Amino acid sequence: MLPLIQHEVVDRHKYISYNELIDMISLSESTPGSLAVNIATFVGYKKHGFLGAAAATLGVVVPSFAIIAILSFFIEAFKENKIVSFAFYGIRIGVLSLIINAFLSVYKSFKKTPVNVFLIILTFICVAVFKINAILMLIFCAAAGIIRAAVTKKEDSKQ
């Protein structure tokens, strides 16, 4: 999903910069709702205010809702079908590859300081191994960033 969003919003239409997209991804991950809907809302608002946000949100939500509503009438009939089961298994693999691609894209764009790399590793371990809520880890990382900025600012003002 992220490569498609980046291609359309940043590269093709130039609605926002790549750095703004990274900021929107970070914010979207910490708010309720899907990434695509949240980013569409933010981009719509940035371009055309409240009406742009509403239109962009509806533009992302309505087609998916319509497709899911239609498919819900047929899903019971195909629930036990082995071909459909294998197709869903394949889709999971595709989704995993998209998530890894998104991670690599974001990883390339941020400063790889020892503190940042440590926070990535610590956050992954806390969420994946110790099952700590991802939202709590996002709050922790945001607080660490704020503290680091404050410390850096103090050091800069002393010089």
94-152 tens-digit pLDDT: 888 888 887 888 788 788 888 888 988 999 999 999 999 988 998 998 898 889 888 88
Number of domains the chain contains: 2
For residue 116, give its domain range.
111-159
Query: pLDDT grade, residue 159 (50/70/90)?
Result: low
Q: How far apart are CA 90 and CA 58, in angstroms?
A: 29
Q: Per residue in 51-85, pLDDT tens? A: 999 999 999 999 989 998 888 888 777 777 888 88
Q: How far apart are CA 5 and CA 21, in angstroms?
A: 9
Q: Are residues 17 and 83 in the same domain?
A: yes
Q: Are residues 88 and 140 in the same domain?
A: no
pLDDT at position 58 is: 96
Q: Quick check: 16 and 43 in contact, CB under 8 A?
A: yes
CA distances (Å), origin 9, targets 18, 23, 104, 137: 9, 14, 19, 28
Q: How far apart are CA 59 and CA 54, in angstroms?
A: 8
Angle in degrees, CA 149, 143, 147, rounded to 5: 30
Q: Are residues 86 and 98 in the same domain?
A: yes
Q: Are residues 134 and 60 in the same domain?
A: no
